[in-house]
């Protein structure tokens, strides 16, 4: 099989883990280049040792590299602000972009929910780690009953939050909340991120709350469990931490206003353990992003 050539921009944790995943796991893709801005980064050093062409001159260095014309897909693992620049530089060259930052220049893509709807888009946005973990659950609940309000809390180890993650906190909450609505189907969405300083570091945990009206409780549970299995097909460490919980929301409940009156609260508790290809197992937040991006790139390569 002829492999589709891809390039990765960003030689930090996410970019390096993504490179290793493509090399180890993909039969459709070949990493042709990695671009960074730190000549001393571990990511560029590892790429060179693995036979991948490198540049420390960023996207401009990537465009100037021999073999750039053969690259079909570029995966951007930098930051929201940097992606705006990278996308502008790459625009004249006709490359497909997969954006692992919260820049959201292109449509939000969550593989088991809406990937097939955006196969022709030139720039696909992978939302956020919290979005990749929780939007599928909101979409699953929405498939069984209308979701009037969705709120998610993503708790990640502070050790897994590098400079890029910390610089994008505002974009994380805004992009994730919007994706809960646009992709997940919630009438209103809210996202919260918690950087947990616990030592030893804790595995990523995600809590999803959906306020709905009257519903078929078994249909909701079945839809959520089915979606969890679909995500786990490409993120093996993705799992329910406990059974789906559904309780009535009465007239005196603070959530009643969000429910538009009486209804139900659906609570889903998730855990995301990383595959530890490059990052520690507790960094499930980064692993789910690179796994989702790999899923998208392989689909585009078909």
Over 22-77, what HEC string results? HHHHCCCEEEEEEECCCCCCHHHHHHHHCCCEEECCHHHHHHHCCCHHHCCEEEEC
Identify the bridge partners of residue 55 per DSSP, sorted by sequence position: 35
**Residue 152 main-chain phi, psi, to 5 deg:** -125, 145
**Residue 246 CA from chain centroid, whole number:** 26
| 210 given a catalytic annotation | no
Do the beta carbons of residue 22 and residue 33 sit within 8 Å? no
The answer on whether 285 is annotated among ligand-binding residues is yes
Residue 112 has φ and ψ, to the nearest 5°, of -75, -5
Does 163 count as an annotated binding residue? yes
284-300 vs 13-25: helix crossing angle, rounded to 10? 50
Q: Which of 80, 97, 109, 129 is catalytic?
A: 129
166 is in an annotated binding site: yes
Q: 55 among the known binding-site residues?
A: no
Residue 146 assigned ligand-binding role? no
Check the annotation: does 58 bind a ligand: no
The answer on whether 36 is annotated among ligand-binding residues is no
Whether residue 164 is annotated as binding a ligand: the answer is yes
Tell me the C-alpha distance between 47 and 70, whole Å. Answer: 18
Question: Any idea what the Cα angle at residue 172 is, between residues 62 and 106, rounded to 5°?
Answer: 50
Q: Is 125 annotated as a binding residue?
A: no
Known binding-site residues for NAD(+) equal 11-14, 160-168, 285
Annotated binding site: 11-14, 160-168, 285
Tell me which residues are annotated as active site: 129
């Amino acid at each position: 099989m002829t492999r589709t050539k891809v390039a990765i921009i960003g030689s930090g944790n996410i970019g390096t883990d993504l490179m290793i995943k493509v090399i180890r796991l993909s039969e459709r893709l070949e990493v042709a280049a990695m671009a960074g801005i730190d000549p001393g980064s571990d990511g560029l050093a590892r790429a060179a040792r693995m036979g991948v062409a490198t540049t420390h001159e960023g996207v401009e260095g990537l465009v100037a590299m021999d073999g750039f014309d053969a690259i079909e897909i570029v995966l951007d693992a930098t930051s929201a602000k940097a992606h705006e620049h990278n996308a502008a530089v790459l625009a004249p060259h006709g490359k497909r972009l997969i954006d692992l930052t919260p820049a959201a220049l292109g449509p939000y893509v969550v593989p088991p929910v809406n990937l097939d709807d955006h196969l022709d888009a030139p720039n696909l946005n992978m939302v956020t780690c919290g979005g990749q973990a929780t939007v599928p659950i909101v979409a699953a609940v929405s498939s069984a009953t209308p979701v009037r309000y969705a709120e998610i809390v993503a708790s990640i180890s502070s050790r897994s939050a590098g400079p890029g993650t910390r610089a994008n906190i505002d974009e994380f909450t805004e992009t994730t909340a919007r994706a809960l609505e646009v992709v997940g189907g919630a009438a209103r969405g809210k996202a919260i991120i918690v950087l947990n300083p616990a030592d030893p570091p804790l595995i990523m945990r995600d809590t999803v709350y959906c306020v709905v009206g009257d519903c078929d409780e078994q249909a909701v549970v079945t839809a959520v469990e089915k979606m969890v299995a679909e995500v786990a097909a490409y993120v093996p460490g993705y799992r329910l931490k406990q059974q789906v919980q559904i309780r009535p929301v009465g007239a005196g409940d603070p959530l009643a206003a969000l429910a538009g009156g009486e209804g139900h609260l659906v609570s889903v508790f998730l855990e995301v353990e990383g595959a530890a290809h490059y990052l520690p197992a507790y960094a499930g937040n980064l692993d789910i992003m690179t796994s989702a991006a790999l899923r998208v790139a392989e689909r585009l390569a078909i």
